[in-house]
Amino acid sequence: MAEGPQRQMIISPHWLQAAVLLFVIGFSVLLFSAILTYQDQPPIPTRVVTEAGDTLFTGDDIMAGQNVFQKYGLMEYGTFLGHGAYLGPDFTAEYLHREAEAMAASYANLPGATNVAAIDRMRRELRENRYDPASGTLTFSAGQAEAFQSLLVYYSEFFSDPVGQAGLPPRLIVSRDELSQITSFFAWGAWTTTAQRPGLGYSYTNNWPYDPILGNGPTADALIWSILSIIALLSGIGLTFYFFGRYDWLGWRGEEERTTISFLPPDKVALTPSQKSTAWYFLIMALLFLLQTLMGGVTAHYRAEPGSFFGINLPQWLPYNLARTWHVQLAIFWVATSYVAAGIFITPLIALREPRGQRTLSFGLLGALVIVVVGSLLGEAAGIFNLLGPWWYLLGNQGWEYLDLGRIWQILLIVGLFLWAFIIFRGLRARLANEHVGNMPYLFFYASLSIPVFYAVGLIGGQGSSFTVMEFWRFWVVHLWVEDFLELFTTATVAYAFVLLGIVSQRTGTRVIYLSVILYSVGGVIGTLHHMYFNGTPVSALALGAFFSAMEVIPLVLLSFEAWSFLRAGGLVGRSAESFPHWWAVWFLAAVGFWNFLGAGVFGFLINLPIVSYYEIGTNLTANHGHTALFGVYGMLAIALMLFGLRYLVRSDRWSDRAAAISFWSLNLGLIWMAFFNLFPVGLIQIADSFQNGYYHARELTFVLSPLVNFLEWARLPGDWLFIIGGVLPLLYLALQAILHPGGGGTIPEEQEITDRTLFTDVEE
């Protein structure tokens, strides 16, 4: 780690050039897709009228209905255009099916009519696009208008039920205006799924959802781009294996020549004041993780026993939509807390000096994050129970999955993340002044800065944005922020930790970071569009999303291919926990490689194929991918970073490798149980039911309560208990040890140079 004024780039500048070029190309395509999305989104009519000219509802009613849908957290109960939660129905598919049945029944009762003629007329009227762009008027046929009135009664009874629907509290929505508005929103959504795009032979949602009574089926584009994406995947994997087998681009072979590394005992490593403050971050992280898993257990139980929790009427106090809102938000909070702590912990090791006041800033940031977490969780509950009046959007819940927290809390969280990036920049500033902009210290700072920047993208869509536009920007957060930039920060952090441990050289660590940027820029950026096949975006989103999301699997396969080199470098091969202090942290990193390949790669690619997604979206196969990828990758990464820091923060005689081992095996076995005894088999049954009976049928509560599916829902219980008790509680125990029995070989005063540049004492070549 040689120093000097304006140090040159330590690897070829072609790495930097390639990363920047691909980054620019990827986001240029994505921004062009944003323009097309705004231009080609389904229109929201000024008013919807009957054939006689009577107004059924207006565009203002549609947008107000969307806000009602958001305010009561219904995206965390069911889905709309396939996106949301898994207990309730897909409201667009349900409305559409009930509308089609009502229309067919009405026309079959006309004099001289037959069932075949009635169904044919119903299909023809639903496909006909009667929207007039000049006047902004959408005309419903007589059958559509009659069905709207009957469905207004149905949804009014559904949401105002004094007993409560399965998983929802009693009398969730009682306002007649709100009931009318949310029905109007569902009616508009159903219209977009069948009305043909002007001049084209398919609907605004590419003929989704599948429903036999409608004659809806997948488009030729869905089939063709599924085939091409498979070709792209196989070709990309073949080329990647060839080039990385032929050339040692990462430099692992040179690293394997280093035979002996003697690591500093954790009690010999002096810590800075800000590093010691991260013990509190890890404790809060563990508490949030525990609460998140408890909420996950509640939501899983509601699928096994809807409307009850082991006989207790829990939904009246903790309904499914609130429990799942908290479950999703807490997942983001505890993972982000670990990443924030890891960034603060590793910064002094990179900079070799801690500026004055870092500890104060660290605790100030922690206090701000606690306020945001507690405030947003309470606000979400108050919003869902309609206690905030007009303040529901700002202080309650915005109502978008993964962006549920109120807008004020979202802004405060973004400010906190920018403060964190400032803390890291402040700590690195002296080091950055002497470094090339393409070297590791800058890469670590770029990765840190990307986290608040891309989370802030969620602010682009507002309360008045249409569903299609809001979904476009929401998935920038869900996909780009989570799947790309958290991955980039983790790669930079782990690479730097390995450099500081003497396991790999700075050259190899730098190449690994650039490889991550390049590979995820190739597929991950444009691959964001695979979330948008059927929510009103143009067909170009389907083509680009399918083709480039297939390439997302390539880096996951490469990481698995490089696993042996990683394990050798990580110290697992030929070592033991006694000789390597980060034994279990590296095991968690090894688990990341496994779940990256299986959860993100195999399960993700399976549902990203348009022809599969057409029948599958919003089913348990989506949940299966979500759990095995989000927790299997980012959760395991967060725990690995936690254990890396805690190993120095806990006094050695109070450290427990047994607790770390129990947590490792319990979390991984619990996740395997969850996936293979519940989520994956139920998902397969569900997609088969969707193909046979229609998507609406696979999303009905009657399907969830069918004997085989209900048995599989109960079968998840042992895995959940193993996950919570054996997996989470040991981590909470280790975090408490850092508070009760702090470790470290003394305290390095602020502004004093850190003379120990690495965490190892000897390397034999």
Q: pLDDT grade, residue 560 (50/70/90)?
A: low
Residue 728 is predicted with a pLDDT of 97
Spatial separation of the C-alpha atoms in residues 19 and 215, rounded to whole Å: 46
- Which residue would you say has higher pLDDT here, 627 or 241? 627
Taking residues 6-15, what's their average pLDDT? Answer: 86
Are 96 and 214 in contact by the 8 Å Cβ rule? The answer is yes
Residue 491 is predicted with a pLDDT of 81
Q: Residue 574 pLDDT more than 60? A: no
pLDDT 10s digits, 224-264 = 999 988 888 888 777 777 776 665 555 544 554 555 667 77
Residue 327 is predicted with a pLDDT of 97
Are 526 and 208 in contact by the 8 Å Cβ rule? The answer is no
How does the average pLDDT of the chain come out, rounded? Answer: 89
Residue 549 is predicted with a pLDDT of 80
Residue 387 is predicted with a pLDDT of 95
Chain centroid to Cα 166, Å, comes to 26
- Go through the chain and tell me how many residues it has: 765
Spatial separation of the C-alpha atoms in residues 402 and 335, rounded to whole Å: 13
Using CB atoms within 10 Å of the CB of residue 568, give its burial: 0 to 12 exposed, 13 to 18 middle, 19+ buried. Answer: middle
Taking residues 632-651, what's their average pLDDT? Answer: 93
> Dihedral of the CA atoms 476, 480, 483, 489 (nearest 10)?
-140
Q: Is the dihedral of CA 757, 759, 762, 765 positive or negative?
A: negative
Residue 3 is predicted with a pLDDT of 47
Residue 498 is predicted with a pLDDT of 79
pLDDT 10s digits, 84-107 = 999 999 999 999 999 999 999 999
Q: Residue 351 pLDDT more than 80? A: yes
Question: Residues of the chain with pLDDT > 90: what percent?
Answer: 67
Residue 757 is predicted with a pLDDT of 54
Peptide bond into 610 cis (omega under 30): no
Spatial separation of the C-alpha atoms in residues 602 and 596, rounded to whole Å: 9
Q: Is 406 helix (H, G, I), strand (E, B) or coil?
A: coil
Token output for 210: 């599948």
Q: Residue 765 pLDDT more than 50? A: no
Residue 1 is predicted with a pLDDT of 42
* Residue 356 dihedral angles phi and psi, to the nearest 5°: -65, 140
Question: Residues of the chain with pLDDT > 70: what percent?
Answer: 92
Q: Residue 395 pLDDT more than 70? A: yes
pLDDT 10s digits, 535-558 = 999 999 989 988 888 777 666 666
Closest CA to 686 of 603, 622, 600: 622
Token output for 562: 């490089």
Q: pLDDT grade, residue 2 (50/70/90)?
A: very low
